[in-house]
Structure 1
Amino acid sequence: MRRLGLRAAWMMTASGWSANQFSALLGTYRSELGLPESTVTGLFALYVIGLIPGLLIGGPLADRRGRRPVALTALAVNLLSTCLLMAGTSATGWLFLGRFLTGLGAGALLAAGSAWVKELSGPPHASHIAPVAAAKRSGLFVSAGFASGGLVASLIAQWAPHPMVAAYVPHLVLAAGAWAAARTAPETRPEEPAAGQRGTAPVDWSRFRRAVLPLAPWIFAAPTIGFATLPGLVDGGLDGWRTVYAGIATAVVPGAGMAVQPLARRLAARHRAATGTAGLAAVALGFALAVPAASAAQPVLALVAAAVLGAGYGLALAFGLTEVAALAPPEWLARLTSVLWTLAYLGMFAPYVVTLLSGAFAVPALLGAGAVLAALCCGAFAALNRTR
């Protein structure tokens, strides 16, 4: 079963890759196509607009119809979206449709694929540790895609001809290979319980609101500020290396999130909510470090801030996925996972909010406000979960 889970998990890497390959090219779209900042940031946010219905439809559909057909169809949409982004060099309108479909396919894939990978990775009742590790596996493979996609796309865009076409080719290869690898994996959707056996409250929503809701939006608010906002604030002295720097930032953020997973396991062993508290504290610190980085336009300090934000992302995502796996009965797993990802991806609007408010407030002040807000959420989260 473990090998089957690994084969399906490559779909999650393809999903993360598709999201961040575009992020690393934001500066290229500004310089090569002359797109204004508001349009580029709007294209970034359009991914989330497509992703949320993908999550909310894909999760329940995977619980009713099966994980396998939803995940494989979503990956096919993901492939199509990359083809449309490649066509965007000749007609900008394709970029809007491509980004929307990237989000739509990624949302359905995250909802159905996360549940499928967990269930393929081992028997659900083998032990407490095995389900926890299985629940986090999809997050690790998504993070691997986040880390690799942006860096590879930026390196290709920096030196290859036709950068806004060539940069997308690796994702086509990866997604096609992931589809072929997962195609033969079996369906894992559990049978719906009989009407007389259904409980009145299959999910403890009170615990979900207490443990997941205060944390979830920060899961992606932190990394998107690290790799979408900060590089544009400090690239004045980078000369011809702006695209590579943006790619490095997109790799540093999720790379730090993967690096803190051993710490996440140790914290979870001490206290169930400790991983979430540490994640929010790291997010607050990352925003605080971003203030002087943006004020002084310091690329190195910006990367440090991005790494801390990435560590917060990794800790928060690990807590969120394991908490959902503990809360959801098997027949609710994809649905509750889709709710978590939806709340998390709302945080991807953070760069767009910063851009909108930057006309009235200095960006360092907005980042400082983010640090304060994250610290307040950390305190509230710790208070709500201190005895559990």
Structure 2
Amino acid sequence: MTAPPVTAPNTVPVTALPTNSGARNGRAAWIMLASGWSANQFSALLGAYRSHLGLTESTVTGLFAVYVVGLIPALLLAGPLADRRGRRPVALTALALNVLSTVFLMAGGAWGGTWLLLPGRFLTGVSAGALLAAGSAWIKELSGSPRRSGLFVSAGFATGGLVAACIARWAPWPMVTAYVPHLVLGALAGSLALAAPETGGSLPVHGCEAAREDAGHRFRRTVLPLAPWVFAAPTIGFVTLPSTLHSGLVLTGVATAVVPGTGLLTARRAPATPAASLLVVAVGTAIAAVAAATANEPLALLAAIVLGAGYGLALTHGLTRTAALAPPHRLARWTAWFWTVAYLGMFTPYVLTLLGHVTTTPVLLTAVTLAALAHAGFVLRKGREQ
């Protein structure tokens, strides 16, 4: 006989949600779309910041990196906070910060002030981290689907970068107007999420300690090692390849959209296993190596598509397994750990750039291919042993 769910005051257990509330509560997932949009709208404008504001390469790199500086601590703090205080207040506060970060970026673009761009990017990272931790757990409990938050984040990654790049290319005042869609999206997402109830704040349910320890061991041993590939794959597709081939603003924006867009389609349609994820990433990096060696942009676009598929598979598997293994009262915390390790993969382009002084990009991408194949072989061997 199982114990009934124990919840903190002023929360609604997942099992107590009305059966007809799925569509209404599922609309809260739009906050994850806003999070993904805010992250990639800036990435697609890196070239424009260089040309319009005259920012140096080191300044642009610093603006990109400060996002991660804000994101990782926010993930690690927001996960436990959402488990203790509830998902809803943390997620809605993070969304408000997400919109505020875009206001800072717009002001920085209007007045050409790096001193405004820096806090804008930092707040983008903080708000995105809190949304990924609290929002992912909240959306999973509201919808019953651990992959829904990943689908909406991927949709935001895909559309935010492409829309921002197109606006920056053809609209007036690009460093301001490119951010307007996110303000509208953030306001819409917030209005939809306000109608969704709280689901978290669960108290620990006493059970088998050995089972909980086994779940934690499997999470650390199988889920976390795969996590860095989640963002290593897409950043190779829309950062390393465009930089190596010196692609223009629009093509860079297309790559920024194609990678997560393919991931979104793959996550919706294909079954996700760690070995399949790694094998697809290996194929993508192999194609990327050839594209970098031959300076072939169509081949680079194909590599971006395949890498996007690998990203979608890895993300779907990671979120699904995390939700399956995590105790209910620690879901946000474990989800935050998964996202934190996943974001370490975003440093891949910088590692490749540093190692570029030693050898060529095609050689480095070949090494990444071999690493993905070796990891896939390890996963398959461990699977046969169990």
**TM-score of the pair, normalised by structure 2:** 0.89
1:303-338 CA-partner distances (Å, limit 9, x unpaired): 111111100000001110110011012111111100
2:360 counterpart of 1:362: yes
- SS where residue 135 of structure 1 aligns? coil
Asked if 1 retains the 8 angstrom alpha-carbon contact of 2:281 and 2:310, the reply is yes
**For the residues of structure 2 that align with 1:171 and 1:185, how far apart are their CA atoms?**
21
For residue 93 of structure 1, the aligned residue among 106, 115, 125 is 115
Asked if 2 retains the 8 angstrom alpha-carbon contact of 1:41 and 1:351, the reply is no
Q: Partner of 1:115 in structure 2?
A: 137
- SS where residue 184 of structure 1 aligns? coil
**For the residues of structure 2 that align with 1:14 and 1:100, how far apart are their CA atoms?**
16
Asked if 2 retains the 8 angstrom alpha-carbon contact of 1:12 and 1:145, the reply is yes
Asked if 2 retains the 8 angstrom alpha-carbon contact of 1:210 and 1:385, the reply is no
| 5+ residue gaps, structure 1 | 123-133, 237-241, 269-274
**For the residues of structure 2 that align with 1:356 and 1:337, how far apart are their CA atoms?**
31
User: How much has 1:201 moved relative to structure 2?
Assistant: 6.1
**For the residues of structure 1 that align with 2:212 and 2:97, how far apart are their CA atoms?**
32
- SS where residue 146 of structure 2 aligns? helix
2:80 counterpart of 1:60: yes
For residue 13 of structure 1, the aligned residue among 20, 25, 33 is 33
Q: Partner of 1:210 in structure 2?
A: 221
**For the residues of structure 1 that align with 2:140 and 2:22, how far apart are their CA atoms?**
9
Asked if 1 retains the 8 angstrom alpha-carbon contact of 2:82 and 2:201, the reply is no
For residue 246 of structure 1, the aligned residue among 239, 249, 252 is 252
Pair 1:10–1:387, CA change in 2 (3 A) = farther
**For the residues of structure 2 that align with 1:354 and 1:29, how far apart are their CA atoms?**
23
Superposition RMSD on alpha carbons, in Å?
1.8
For residue 105 of structure 1, the aligned residue among 127, 140, 155 is 127
Asked if 2 retains the 8 angstrom alpha-carbon contact of 1:235 and 1:299, the reply is no
Q: Partner of 1:129 in structure 2?
A: none
| 5+ residue gaps, structure 2 | 1-20
Pair 1:38–1:293, CA change in 2 (3 A) = farther
Q: Percent of aligned positions with the same letter in both sequences? A: 63
**For the residues of structure 1 that align with 2:385 and 2:138, how far apart are their CA atoms?**
32
Q: Partner of 1:256 in structure 2?
A: 262
Pair 1:36–1:382, CA change in 2 (3 A) = farther
Q: Partner of 2:43 in structure 1?
A: 23
| Number of aligned residue pairs | 363
User: How much has 1:215 moved relative to structure 2?
Assistant: 0.7
In structure 2, give the amino acid aligned to 1:149: G
In structure 1, give the amino acid aligned to 2:309: A
Segment of structure 1 superposing worse, 180-189 or 29-38 = 29-38
For residue 42 of structure 1, the aligned residue among 51, 58, 62 is 62
Q: Partner of 1:287 in structure 2?
A: 285
Q: Partner of 1:239 in structure 2?
A: none
1:168-215 CA-partner distances (Å, limit 9, x unpaired): 110111011101110121100153036x66846635222112211221
Asked if 2 retains the 8 angstrom alpha-carbon contact of 1:210 and 1:384, the reply is no
Asked if 1 retains the 8 angstrom alpha-carbon contact of 2:72 and 2:340, the reply is yes
**TM-score of the pair, normalised by structure 1:** 0.89
- SS where residue 372 of structure 2 aligns? helix
User: How much has 1:353 moved relative to structure 2?
Assistant: 1.7
In structure 2, give the amino acid aligned to 1:383: R
Pair 1:289–1:42, CA change in 2 (3 A) = farther
Asked if 1 retains the 8 angstrom alpha-carbon contact of 2:151 and 2:268, the reply is no
Segment of structure 1 superposing worse, 182-191 or 334-343 = 182-191
User: How much has 1:261 moved relative to structure 2?
Assistant: 2.6
